[in-house]
Structure 1
Amino acid sequence: MTAISGLDGQEVRSPSNDRHASGLGPAIAGIVALAAYIRTLLPGMAFGDWGEMQTVPHVLGIAHPTGYPTYVLLAAITELVPIGSVAFRANLLSAVLVAGAVALVAAILVRLEVRVVFAIAVALAFGAVGTVWAAATVAEVNALHLALMALTIERTLVWQQERRARDLALVALLIGLALGNHLLTLFVAPFLVCFVMWAGRTTVRSNPRLLVRSVAAGLIGLAGYA
């Protein structure tokens, strides 16, 4: 972080450098995590649910309940990338998603005014947890769940601080997409909704259309079940 001297001789932080550092830290965390995950990535086919999540997107089928439509559609799009086998692409998607979640954890901490170096360290520690790392090495719906939850929380903080209507609509869309991926979202979504309604009670009360648009965005996110 660069500092400049003010008129009184005191050092003043440059806002542009603050923004640069806050963006660079999460990027570093994500890249380091991705490199580690790729080194331990399963190179081919898997068995059980993992094998199912490698094959179902390829045929645009329906997985075991609850179907995981958000994951299936995303994985099907990922298959268009001409890298390795179909199974490898599905596994690689998990590595990218969990690395994105690691970067977003760092971004959340930076937004909460944690020093960048500590944010990177905590994010990498999160990414090194056994269950998190395991989700990053094979086709796994939990990889997308981690990424969507991290992005939803990060965007909720952005909305809470900046109060832009599009951010709230994006939060609602992400919650809908997350529900279309894994029902574990039901344990998180109510707390996020309560936080938004409490933190933005004045904004929502003065602009009912904002609530309507957000509900509509959430329903769009759930469209995968249609």
Structure 2
Amino acid sequence: MKFFRKLFKYTIRTLLLLIIIAVGFVGYRTYQFTNNVNQYRQEVETIAQEMGVDDFTDTILGIMYTESKGIGTDLMQSSESAYGSRGQITSQQESIQYGVEHFAEVYQLSQQAGCDLSTAVQAYNYGFQYIDYVKNNGGKNSVELAEAYSRDVLSPGLGNSTQNQYRYVKLQSLLYNGGYLYSDGGNMFYADIVNMNERLVDWFYNIQK
């Protein structure tokens, strides 16, 4: 009996240690990534001000975090919106310029359609047509609405007529459907993930002031 008690205590201590190490690692990596993104804050804010969306600098940085963690050349993954295909962006500055311009456009179109900010963020991932879809379905983005668009419009339009899915392991997806996205259907959790990342970027920025 003593042996099993000792084994149980040892196992619990080991698990706790592993959890602490894992949390510490994730926290440190998050700190690194938010630092990567925040180094572009001034540049993003300047361009956002020119485009009339400087109130949403944190949102744009949340998009950057979601798209690239502040790593690489195409920080905002804006090549497709700017050129219609991937791999065309040649500098980080170009990516930020086009990314902020793209956000400004989806935001302004969302406002004109009477939709919310979340619709604009989701449209950054889905494309302009999503704004009209939300407008015709209540004017407010939700995961349920984003899923319907992914399943019924975007995914079939890009060739996935059988509603094929693939694993996508994120907190939002795990809680919603066990961790799945529709193939060729964009990311139905995009607006929620950006919102979470926006808060992370802002929090780490403020504690370092």
TM over 0.5, yes or no?
no
TM-score interval, normalised by the smaller of the two chains: 0.3 to 0.5
Q: What TM-score comes out, normalization by structure 1 length?
A: 0.33
Say which structure is richer in helix: 1
